[in-house]
Amino acid sequence: MMENDSARQLDFISYIQRLLVEGDFSATYKYALLHALADICIEKPLNDNPNAPLEISFSEIVEKFIALYWQHAVPFTVGSQQQAGDLLKQNTGKQAKIITELHECHNSNISNINQLKRSTRWPALYRETLKTLREGPLWRLQILAKTEQCFLYPHQKNTDSIVLNEGIAFCFRRFYDLVVHLSRNAWLNKIQSIPANSSVLGAQTQLNNFLFGVDRQAITKARPLLEEIQQGNCFYCQKKLNCQTDVDHFIPFAKYANDLGHNFVVAHSTCNNSKRDYLGAIMYRDRWYEQNIIQHHGSITTELSEYFNCDAVRSEAVTSWAYQVAANNGAQLWVGKGEFEIINTCEKPKEITRNFHRT
C-alpha cells in the first residue's frame, strides 16, 4: 500500500469521526445519508482504478434513503404490544416528513419496498424525498463546526448527482462495517435523545432490532423457489433438506444489512447456525455464483422481485466486496462445523463479476 493511500484512509476515518461529533444533527437524515453512501459504494462494481472518483446519482440516493426509512415508519412495538400513533420521532421538531409519508404507504396495504415502487404513491414520494435531500442533508452533511468541509464530495448543486472525491469510494468499501456501525449508533442515540420518544421507548433495549433487524417472516417468501432450485438439498452440505430449513443470507446480514433476492440460499438450520455471521468458503462463493447468478438469475428475479430487490449485478458487487475485505483482513471462511479456511492475503480473491448473457 502506498503511503498516500494509508494517509487518505486515516484522514477518512478521522473525518467520519469529526462529522458525527461536529455536525449539526437536528434530525436523523444525515445519518441515513452517510449509511446510504456506504451501501451504494459496495453495491457498485469496482472499475480498474479503485481510487477513482465515483459518481452517484440522486436517484440512487433517493431509493436507498426510502429503503432505510421503510421499517422506521411503523409503530414501535415491544413484544406483541402495539399502540396506535407510537411512531418514533426522527426530528427534534415536527415528525420527519419521510416517516409520515411512508407510514401512509404502510397503511395502504403496501407490504414492502418493491410493491411501493410499483404503486401509484411512488412518484410523489420520490419527488418529495428528492426535494428533502436537495434542500437539506446533501449539502449539510459536510458542515462541520458551522464550516463547509467537502472531504467526501464537492458541493455542486446544479447537477443530478454527486461525485465522491478520489479514494473516498475505496474508503467507504474498506471501512464499510465501521461507517455503518457508527452511523447506526449515532442514529439510535439521536432517536433516544428526542424527548417525545421517551414515553414510547421506556426502558426497553429492543430499538436496534426494531429499526435495523431482518424481517424473518418476509424472507421465508424465498424458500419454495430456492428449495426447487437446489433440488431439495442444503446449499452447504448438499444433503436432503428436512423440516428444519432456514433461508440464509449468503453474505451475512451482519455484514450487509439489506435483503437482496439473489443473496438467499436455503440450508439446514444446523448448517446455518454453524455458519452464523461468517463468510462461506471459496467453494461456496463459487457455488452461489453458479447457482444464483449464472443459472437461475432469471427465475429469482421473476419470482422474488415482488418481495425483494433482485438486482444480480448489485449482489455480485456486494459479494465481491465482502470477499475482498476478508482477504484484506486475513479473515477465516466457514467450511463446516468447527472447520475454517483462511484467505491467503498475498493471493486475494479476484472479482467474481464476469460477462454473461442474461435472458
Q: Strand pairing partners for 266?
A: 247
Min mean pLDDT across 16-25, 104-113, 206-215, 247-256 is at 206-215
Residue 199 has pLDDT above 50, yes or no: yes
**pLDDT at residue 3, rounded to an integer:** 56
Residue 319 has pLDDT above 50, yes or no: yes
| DSSP calls for 183-238 | HHHHHHHHHHHSGGGHHHHTT---HHHHHH---HHHHGGGHHHHHHHTTTB-TTT-
Q: Both 151 and 233 in a single domain?
A: no
Domain that holds residue 140: 3-212
Express each pLDDT in 44-94 by its tens digit: 987 888 899 999 999 999 999 999 999 999 988 765 454 545 789 988 888
Tell me, yes or no, whether 353 lies in a domain.
no
Q: Both 27 and 142 in a single domain?
A: yes
Secondary structure element (H or E) that encloses residue 255, with its range = none
Give the global pTM: 0.77
Q: Both 63 and 139 in a single domain?
A: yes
Q: Both 177 and 251 in a single domain?
A: no
Rounded-to-integer distance, Cα 27 and Cα 237, Å: 47
Q: Which of 212, 231, 258 is the last residue of a domain?
A: 212
Q: Both 54 and 191 in a single domain?
A: yes
Q: Both 142 and 269 in a single domain?
A: no
* Number of independent structural domains in the chain: 2
Q: Both 38 and 171 in a single domain?
A: yes
Q: Both 163 and 30 in a single domain?
A: yes
If one compares 245 and 342, the residue with the highest pLDDT of the two is 245
Q: Both 95 and 145 in a single domain?
A: yes
Residue 219 has pLDDT above 60, yes or no: yes
Q: Both 180 and 220 in a single domain?
A: no
Q: Both 316 and 167 in a single domain?
A: no
Rounded-to-integer distance, Cα 103 and Cα 91, Å: 15
Tell me, yes or no, whether 302 lies in a domain.
yes
Q: Both 207 and 323 in a single domain?
A: no
Express each pLDDT in 262-313 by its tens digit: 999 999 999 999 998 889 999 999 999 999 999 999 999 999 999 999 999 9
